[in-house]
Amino acid sequence: MQKDAFTLLYQDKKLLENSATPIITVSASFKEDLKGFHGEKEDDQVQDIVFSRAHYSMALAVAVAAWGKKIDATKAWLVDPTNHVKQTDWKSIKLTDNIGKTIARQPLLKILKDLVDRFARSKLPILENIKPATKFLSQNLDRPILSFHIATGNILAENGKTVWQMITDPHVRSDYVTNAAKKNIRFMVFDQQTKEEFFRVAAAENIKIPADQIENKVVVTGPPVDPRTLAAAKKKKPWNNDRALRILITTGGLGTNKQEIHKILDQLLPALKNPEANCPKLEIIYYAGTHFDHQRMAINLAKKHQIKHHLISPYDPADFSQAGELNMAQRQFKNNVKFHIIYHPQIIDANELLIRYGFSWADLFISKPSGDMAYDAALSGAALLSMKEWGEWEHNVRRVFEKFGICQKADTDHIVEQLIALSQKQSSHSIHNRVPTSSVRPLPQLTDDEANQMSWIAQAMLNTQQLPLSYYQGAINILKTSKQV
């Protein structure tokens, strides 16, 4: 291992050992931001390898809940062993990244991905590549470690560490229960249904959890959503036709749904300039994440349709340093520009831009129904149109928000027509899935006319304000639970 690489590994290890909340995940390499954190020269344009935004943003959500307004590594520290893979194994990491991105962009190859998910996920080379760094980072820790990826959770459990493993979707794969009989690993889940599924999967896999462990083996915490995303929803009111409908379209960590997104943008961008009859005024942000090809696709479509665009890609937007100020939501954009593109080659910066500009702004998300983005969307107070699922767990996520009257499937072939239909006022009695639960956020004051004549989009936004309390408190609940021995 090169000298500077070992220095970063040692510094990460020390911060983890001295932190009240040690967090480990597998999501991406963000070496350049780590260099900057430790006062070394960083290159803001080096492309991160990113496997998953979800496993980063969920882990970050709990860290932010511990930090407050400024980064404080003594309160919580997040490490990803991907940053510390041996140089000799780095080719394998890049190969995994390239394969993932290729499959994400070619729907026909997704059949191969589904087979890997079902039969060979635990055999992927990266799982062996991260093992040495995971063991080294945690070797001196004798208090509970919060894991946001089952690969690290299993490594830690098998090495005798006390582990709180977060199950990052309302879905339990078999590798989650591999070490479930061990006393030193416990689990946190989004909801009661996932807790019940955990024990069904363990039984199906013939994992015999000792009777004295069953009661406390799995804790329902709610989903880990960044407190800044929750704050973004507080001033959000249901959309009405007096202003433009603000649409946030997102890709995932691997650049999923590219063909669907191209089709959607190809229909929506002309509507910014020449809307069809009854189509609401529109404004659009496209979150291209860390994917340069997605950024170029969006820019090329804007040029094709002669639409002004604004690229949001500032230099090093995340103040990633000890006592660094966390980005808070804001809504300022260039005047007279209705199409904005968020892009940054590094996951920490791209995620901060999404939090800063996207969540407080959007009335409607168009996204795959992932365990991060769907929950982020709903808890930011937005409605959701879901694109094609990337894995079987995302079918569960979609059904969760369909049940609450917040989500519908996106009609990607007729997206403008769908938006026209969903933006039309209709009697609230005819809107499906109105949610009668008690609100945990103050409901906006609505006139009788507003209450009785709402569009599906407005009603879905209103329904987000009545989600279960645990959805709003997930990050705090996870933080508190992780302190239990």
Please report the pLDDT score of residue 450 as a whole number: 56
pLDDT at position 330 is 66
Count Cβ atoms below 10 Å from residue 448 Cβ, excluding itself.
7
Instruction: State which H helix or E strand residue 131 sits in.
Output: helix 131-138
Task: Output 436 or 466, whichever has higher pLDDT.
Answer: 466
pLDDT value for 62: 98
pLDDT digits (tens, 9 = 90+) for 267-326: 999 999 988 889 999 999 999 999 999 999 999 999 999 999 999 999 888 888 888 888
Place of tokens 């307004």: 69
| Phi, then psi, of 248 in degrees rounded to 5 | -110, 115
Read off the pLDDT of residues 360-417 as tens digits, 9 standing for 90 and up. 999 999 999 998 999 999 999 999 999 999 888 899 999 999 999 999 999 999 999 9
Domain extents in the chain:
3-224+475-481, 227-471
Q: How sure is the predictor about 114, in pLDDT bands with cuts at 50, 70 and 90?
A: low
Q: pLDDT tens for residues 264-281? A: 999 999 999 988 889 999
**Residues in Cβ contact with 36 at an 8 Å cutoff, skipping those fewer than 6 apart:** 42, 316, 320, 321
pLDDT attached to residue 89: 85
Higher pLDDT, 102 or 238: 238
Length of the chain: 485
Rounded Cα distance, 442 and 368, in Å = 28
Higher pLDDT: 371 or 263? It is: 263
**Res 324: pLDDT:** 83
Asked whether residue 443 carries a pLDDT value surpassing 80, the answer given is: no
CA distance 423 to 245: 9
User: Taking the CA of residue 264 as centre, how many other CA atoms within 13 Å lie in the half-sphere pointing to its CB?
Assistant: 26
CB 59 within 8 Å of CB 351 = no
| C-alpha–C-alpha distance, residues 426 and 434, integer Å | 13
Residue 278 falls in which region: left (phi positive, over 0), alpha (psi -120 to 50) or beta: left
Architecture category of domain 227-471 in CATH: 3-Layer(aba) Sandwich (3.40)
Q: Do residues 168 and 53 lie in contact, with contact meaning Cβ atoms separated by under 8 Å?
A: no
Residue type, 231: A
Query: What pLDDT band is residue 1 in, cutting at 50, 70 and 90?
Result: very low
Residue 226 confidence (pLDDT) above 70: yes
- pLDDT exceeds cutoff 50 at 97: yes
Model pLDDT for residues 404-414, shown as the tens digit of each residue: 999 999 999 99
Strand, coil or helix: what is 86? Answer: coil
Does residue 152 contact residue 175 with C-beta atoms inside 8 Å? no
Q: What is the pLDDT of residues 28-56, one digit of tens each?
A: 999 999 999 988 899 999 999 999 999 99
pLDDT category of residue 234 using cuts at 50, 70 and 90: confident
Query: Tell me, what's the pLDDT at 432?
Result: 44
CA distance 161 to 145: 8
This prediction's pTM: 0.91
Topology match between the domains 3-224+475-481 and 227-471? yes
The mean pLDDT value for 18-31 works out to 96
Second-level CATH architecture of 3-224+475-481: 3-Layer(aba) Sandwich (3.40)
pLDDT band of residue 336 (cuts 50, 70, 90) is confident
